[in-house]
């Protein structure tokens, strides 16, 4: 157990998973199941028309980076993602706190927040474009509309989870509402918030990409859309690969901040 969780071993295991996935993908998309084995015709397990092949995808990705064409698009998408994440998370935190502390506000607006959360963003895209134009802001809005709700619900719950004794102690120590927020609610809701941030990093990116996909002139979503239009699955998968790698990087940053802000927690005893 202790051996298994050491850094290099862990990394090796992670690599193993990657190799396995890519291996399956490679075989499925390059080896034809001979005719008569399962069905009449010989066929691919993962038809390269829909799945491309890993070699082609890596080649394309490498080329995109080597020639540098992708940096511009990546930059735009990451900017949108970062903005969507920051604005959505900030909004979720602020409104979440506000709702949690003002019972009536929460009770009155509760159904409307839930309604808003259920609106399909894809349909709203034209309205975002109308209000915010075609620049990055309409994409940011789409990302915000995903991130906000995830963070909001978690912060709202996190604030309500504060230990009543600790809260009473804080009040008896004379804290004002603002000081309660800073010294009690905020640190107590932090774990909740970070849990939601891990989810919402991904959603911020999804929002940005889908926004680009629905209408734009640049960005990874735009590139994916272009590739889809000409059946260039390799291009589609290469775009998604780049997305996936970058979300890991952003998430790592979130984790570093999280560990910084939650040093005080007891380390949980290991499962086994």
Partner 1 sequence: AAQGAPALAQKAEKPTLTLGVGGKPLLYYLPLTIAERNGYFKEEGLDVTINDFGGGAKSLQALIGGSIDAVTGAYEHTIRMQAKGQDIVSVIELGRYPGIVLVVQKDKAAKYKSVADLKGAKVGVTAPGSSTNFFVNFLLAKQGLKPDDVSYIGVGGGASAVAQMKRGEIDAMANLDPVITKVESDGDAVVLADTRTEEGNQKIFGGANPAAVLYLKRDFVAANPVTTQKLTNAFYKSLKWLEKASPEDVAKVVPEEYLLGDKTLYLAAVKASKPTYSITGVIPEIGMKNALNMLVEFDPELKSATIDLPKTFDGTFVKKASETIK
Partner 2 sequence: MSGVGGLADATPVTGAPAAAELEGVRIAFPGSRPKDAPFVAVEGANLRVADGEFLAIVGPTGCGKSTLLNAAAGLLVPAAGNVRIFGAPLAGLNRQAGYLFQAEALFPWKTVLDNVSIGLEIAGVSAAEAKARSQDWLKRVGLGAFGERYPHMLSGGQRKRVGLAQVLIRDPKILLMDEPFGPLDAQTRQIMGNLLLDLWSLDRKAVMFVTHDLDEAIALADRVVIMSAGPASRIIGEWRVNLERPRDIAEVRLTPEFHALHREIWGALREEVVKGYRQTEGAA
Residues in 84-143 at the binding interface with partner 1, rule: CB under 8 A: 122, 125-126, 129-130, 133-134
Check binding of 93 to partner 2 (CB under 8 A). no
Cβ proximity to partner 1: between 64 and 153 the closer is 64
| Nearest residue to 211 via CA among 113, 96, 128, 98 | 128
Shortest CB 214 distance to partner 1, Å: 4
Question: Taking each helix axis from N to C terminus, what angle separates 136-160 and 103-117, rounded to the nearest 10 degrees?
Answer: 140
On the CB side of 133, how many CA atoms lie within 13 Å of its CA?
3
When the beta carbons of 30 and 191 are compared against partner 2, the nearer one is 191
> Does residue 160 belong to the site contacting its own copies (CB under 8 A)?
yes
Q: Is 191 in the site for its own copies (CB under 8 A)?
A: yes
121-132 vs 186-214: helix crossing angle, rounded to 10 = 80
Phi-psi region of 220 (alpha: psi -120 to 50; beta: other; left: phi over 0): alpha
Q: Is 149 in the site for its own copies (CB under 8 A)?
A: yes
CA dihedral 9, 11, 12, 14 (to 10 degrees): 130
Radius of gyration of the chain (CA): 23
Phi and psi of 32, rounded to 5°? -85, 130
184 binds its own copies (CB under 8 A): no
Q: Is 95 in the site for its own copies (CB under 8 A)?
A: no
- Taking residues 201 to 220 in sequence order and writing x for each that binds its own copies by CB under 8 A, - otherwise, the string is xxx-xx--xx--x-------
Among 90, 190, 247, 261, binds its own copies (CB under 8 A): 247
* Single residue of 44, 91, 183, 254 touching partner 2 by CB under 8 A: 183
* Pairing assessment for the beta strands 32-33 and 43-44 based on DSSP bridges: antiparallel
Site for partner 2 in 189-228 (CB under 8 A): 190
Name the residue nearer to its own copies (CB basis): 115 or 230: 115
Cβ 233 to partner 1 shortest distance, Å: 7
DSSP state of 36: T
* Residues near partner 2, by CB under 8 A: 165-166, 168-176, 179, 183-184, 187-188, 190, 262-266, 269
């Amino acid at each position: 157990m202790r051996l298994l969780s050491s850094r290099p071993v862990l990394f090796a295991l992670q690599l193993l998973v990657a190799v396995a996935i890519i291996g399956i993908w490679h075989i499925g998309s390059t080896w034809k199941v001979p005719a008569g084995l399962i069905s009449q015709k010989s066929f691919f397990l993962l038809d390269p028309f829909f799945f491309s092949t890993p070699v082609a995808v890596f080649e394309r990705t490498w080329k995109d980076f080597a020639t540098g064409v992708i940096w511009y698009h990546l930059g735009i998408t990451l900017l949108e993602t970062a903005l969507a994440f920051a604005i959505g998370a900030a909004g979720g935190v602020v409104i979440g706190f506000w709702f949690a502390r003002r019972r009536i506000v929460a009770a009155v607006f509760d159904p409307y927040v839930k309604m808003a959360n259920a609106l399909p963003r894809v349909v709203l895209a034209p309205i975002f474009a109308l209000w915010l134009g075609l620049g990055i802001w309409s994409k940011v809005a789409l990302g915000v509309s995903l991130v906000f709700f995830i963070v909001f619900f978690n912060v709202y719950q996190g604030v309500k989870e504060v230990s009543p004794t600790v809260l009473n102690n804080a009040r008896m120590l004379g804290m004002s509402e603002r000081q309660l927020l800073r010294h009690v609610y905020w640190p107590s809701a932090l774990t909740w918030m970070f849990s939601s941030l891990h989810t919402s990093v991904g959603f911020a990116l999804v929002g940005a990409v889908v926004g680009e996909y629905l209408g734009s002139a640049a960005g990874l979503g735009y590139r994916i859309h272009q590739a889809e239009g000409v059946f260039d699955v390799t291009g589609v998968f290469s775009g998604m690969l780049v997305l996936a790698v970058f979300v890991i990087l952003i998430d790592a940053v979130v984790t570093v901040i999280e560990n910084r802000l939650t040093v005080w927690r007891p380390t949980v005893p290991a499962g086994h």
